[in-house]
């Protein structure tokens, strides 16, 4: 949630910053107009309440003196009715202010490249050699289907497009990958959590999915429950409406969960394979920090996600997204993109973001500083990593001419010492 005081006091700054995210200045003007109306009504209401209190004292005095107070009583009945109507109006206007403010994205950091499209992202670093083959590399779905470890046809039959079955060695490979990620995250100081897979609307609001992105998720009819689009939602909301002991900060969580996404607006994109599914597994990392810790935490979390790819021997690069390409809640995002030989390009496998105090304001997550004053924490999130996309990267980068796939050394122990996937 954007700080309303910042919008009021530094309007031009906010307009300039949010313009880089595609926000029209008129949206901010509308918010300020409604906010001013609310503040004016508060003053008027408080003035009327003060008058009512004063006249009530006068009525009491008249009654004690056994004098006629009927005129003042009649007057106060009308004043009380006016105050009640005004308070009801205030509630409506406060809701309108809250709704308009909640639809504005986070202020981008000064170091984020400005751009109204994804073009202009800045490459920070690159790691690994692009693999070369003495044969034409196949797509991961061709490899998986030929090996009998990925079954998209039956997934579509049972659930619809963009669902699949992992079978045999495919299921074991997926399990090996996410267990490897969880173990490595735990070594890096993250506490493993097994959260709920369904959350309420307050939780979706807290992390920024609601009210603006309701079309991107699956919600249950006749129930205030939504299937999580990422473990970030239940992990961040663990501390919703809470005050974290400052001695605990930073708090670092990791979780493996399925992620459910409607992929609204992605028609025609990545219709085959593991890149854009309606249901997929992801290992998530979330941190709660003091404000002065968050930028260092972002770099460390990004470096850790990179280390996972390095240990798997997967070529990748790290980019900083443009102002308009990063998520609604982020102040800065580093994307990790892994090399996919069939597509002959890098594809996203992790996004690591610093959301500063944006989510904490929405979810009311605070800590007490050294002076005992309540402050908002900063929240960060990052994929560590997207499991299905890691499967895709391994199948394509470690494929052999005979259709078999070598298993990266780092996850061989999780595969019972198996070194190669072969057709059963």
Binding residues: 230-232, 261-263, 284, 348-351, 383
Q: φ, ψ for residue 149 (rounded to 5)?
A: -110, -15
Rounded Cα gap, residues 247 and 118, in angstroms: 39
Rounded Cα gap, residues 333 and 21, in angstroms: 13
Residue pair 344/333 in contact by the 8 Å Cβ criterion: no
Largest Cα span, the chain: 108
Nearest to 394 by CA among 123, 181, 88, 231: 181
Rounded Cα gap, residues 307 and 318, in angstroms: 12
Annotated binding site for ATP: 261-263, 348-351
Annotated binding site for L-serine: 230-232, 284, 383
Cross-strand bridge partners of residue 367: 244, 375
DSSP string for residues in 188-236: TTPEE----SEE-HHHHHHTT-TTTTGGGSEE-TTSS-EE-SSTHHHHH
Strands 218-219 and 150-151: unpaired
Nearest to 351 by CA among 365, 363, 336: 336
Nearest to 138 by CA among 415, 404, 419, 347: 404
* E-assigned strand segments in 104-159: 122-127, 150-151
End-to-end CA distance of the chain: give it in Å, rounded. 52
Rounded Cα gap, residues 253 and 418, in angstroms: 30
Q: φ, ψ for residue 411 (rounded to 5)?
A: -105, 5
């Amino acid at each position: 949630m954007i700080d309303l005081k910042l919008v009021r006091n530094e309007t031009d700054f906010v307009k300039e910053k949010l313009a880089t995210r595609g926000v029209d200045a008129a949206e901010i003007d509308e918010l300020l107009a409604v906010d001013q109306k609310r503040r004016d009504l508060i003053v008027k209401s408080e003035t009327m309440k003060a008058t009512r209190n004063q006249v009530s004292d006068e009525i009491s005095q008249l009654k004690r003196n056994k004098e006629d107070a009927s005129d003042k009583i009649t007057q106060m009945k009308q004043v009380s009715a006016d105050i009640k109507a005004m308070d009801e109006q205030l509630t409506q206007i406060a809701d309108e202010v809250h709704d308009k403010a909640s639809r504005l994205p986070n202020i981008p950091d000064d170091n984020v490249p400005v751009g109204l499209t994804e073009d202009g992202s800045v490459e920070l670093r690159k790691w690994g050699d692009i693999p070369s083959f003495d044969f034409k590399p196949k797509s991961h779905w061709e490899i998986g289907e030929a090996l009998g470890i990925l079954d998209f046809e039956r997934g579509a039959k049972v659930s619809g497009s963009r669902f699949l079955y992992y079978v045999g060695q495919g299921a074991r490979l997926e399990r090996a990958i996410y267990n490897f990620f969880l173990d490595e995250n735990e070594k890096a100081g993250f506490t493993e959590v097994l959260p709920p897979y369904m959350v309420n609307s307050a939780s979706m609001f807290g992390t920024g999915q609601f009210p603006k992105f309701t079309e991107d998720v699956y919600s249950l009819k006749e129930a205030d429950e939504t299937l999580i689009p990422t473990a970030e939602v239940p992990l961040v909301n663990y501390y919703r409406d809470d005050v974290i002991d400052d001695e605990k900060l930073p708090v670092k969580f990791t979780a493996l969960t399925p992620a459910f996404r409607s992929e609204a607006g992605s028609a025609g994109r990545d219709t085959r394979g593991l890149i854009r599914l309606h249901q997929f597994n992801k290992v998530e990392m979330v941190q709660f920090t003091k404000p002065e810790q968050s930028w260092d935490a972002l770099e460390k979390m990004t470096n850790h996600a990179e280390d996972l790819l390095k240990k798997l021997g997967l070529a990748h690069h790290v980019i900083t997204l443009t102002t308009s390409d990063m998520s609604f809640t982020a102040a800065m995002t580093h994307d990790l993109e892994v090399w996919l030989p069939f597509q002959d390009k890098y594809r996203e496998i992790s996004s690591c973001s610093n959301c500063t105090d944006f989510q904490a304001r929405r979810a009311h997550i605070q800590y007490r500083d050294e002076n005992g004053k309540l402050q908002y924490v900063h929240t960060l999130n990052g994929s560590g990593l997207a499991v299905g996309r890691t499967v895709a990267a391994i199948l394509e980068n470690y494929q052999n001419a005979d259709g078999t796939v070598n298993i990266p050394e780092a996850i061989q122990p999780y595969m019972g010492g198996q070194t190669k996937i072969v057709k059963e």
